[in-house]
Amino acid sequence: MAEITWLGHSCFRLRGREATIVTDPYNKRLGHDFGKPRADIVTASRPGDLYSFAEAVRGEPKILSGPGEYEVNDVFITGVGTYDKKRLKNTVYVLELEGMVICHLGTLGHIPTAEQLEQLSNIDVLLIPVGGGNTINVTEATEVISTIEPHIVIPMHYKVGTIDPDLETVEAFAKEMGLSDLTPQDKLNLKPSDLPEGTKVVILDYKNSFK
């Protein structure tokens, strides 16, 4: 079983039997302090202390910071080179955990090309920015979702309290997706047999902190 917890911004903790992964750890000057979670692997979608502040992670994690193919603790990870809205380099990570394929889009700012989509096939769980700014907005996010067709969608990188105040809200994304239930859950525990036939949106609560 994989446990997925959102730590705010584009940072998640993904925990399985093989390893624990923290994506895009950020400096608490962003406006939220998620503590110091422990991890075996850290993925950074781009440079800077808003996306690759590995000092916030305990342990001695392997830090991945660019395109390529990696294997760490029996977890297979592929980094796919993309861009944000300003054409700054962004790395999308596709990882295999607990028999499922999880994709973290980082600060993706465009609709993936046909070549990129070949590396983003058979995605079970899609962690997708929806707030605009340097990343795709709610309209573009829905297009990416319909193109990739994941089983589970978890939005990230949107306005939450003092976090990313200039971005769009998750309510705007929900309206675009035609959702009515916006009740967040603390975390998502998931195994392959739990995956729905179609696409389901899961909204996670950001109020988690790990000491």
pTM given for the model: 0.95
Q: What is the DSSP letter of 195?
A: -
Under 8 Å between Cβ of 67 and 89: no
The CA distance from 209 to 103, in Å, is 23
Mean pLDDT of all residues in 29-57:
83
| Predicted confidence band of residue 207 (pLDDT cuts 50, 70, 90) | low
Under 8 Å between Cβ of 13 and 187: no
Secondary structure string (H, E, C) spanning 72-124: ECCEEEEEEEEECCCCCEEEEEEEEECCEEEEECCCCCCCCCHHHHHCCCCCC
Q: What is the pLDDT of residue 99?
A: 97
181 contact partners, CB below 8 Å, separation of at least 6? none
Q: What is the pLDDT of residue 55?
A: 84
Q: What is the pLDDT of residue 210?
A: 45
Q: For residue 155, give the 3-state DSSP assignment.
A: strand
Mean pLDDT of all residues in 194-204:
96
The CA distance from 106 to 90, in Å, is 7
Under 8 Å between Cβ of 160 and 207: no
| Predicted confidence band of residue 196 (pLDDT cuts 50, 70, 90) | very high
Q: What is the pLDDT of residue 82?
A: 97
The radius of gyration of the chain from alpha carbons, rounded to an integer in Å, stands at 15
Under 8 Å between Cβ of 80 and 92: yes
Domains in the chain and their CATH numbers? 2-201 (3.60.15.10)
Which tens digit of pLDDT belongs to each residue from 88-141? 999 999 999 999 999 999 999 999 999 999 999 999 999 999 999 999 999 999
| Predicted confidence band of residue 206 (pLDDT cuts 50, 70, 90) | confident
- Identity of the amino acid at 64: L
**Rounded to the nearest 5°, which phi and psi values hold at 92?**
-90, 135
Mean pLDDT of all residues in 62-81:
97
pLDDT over 80 (residue 197): yes
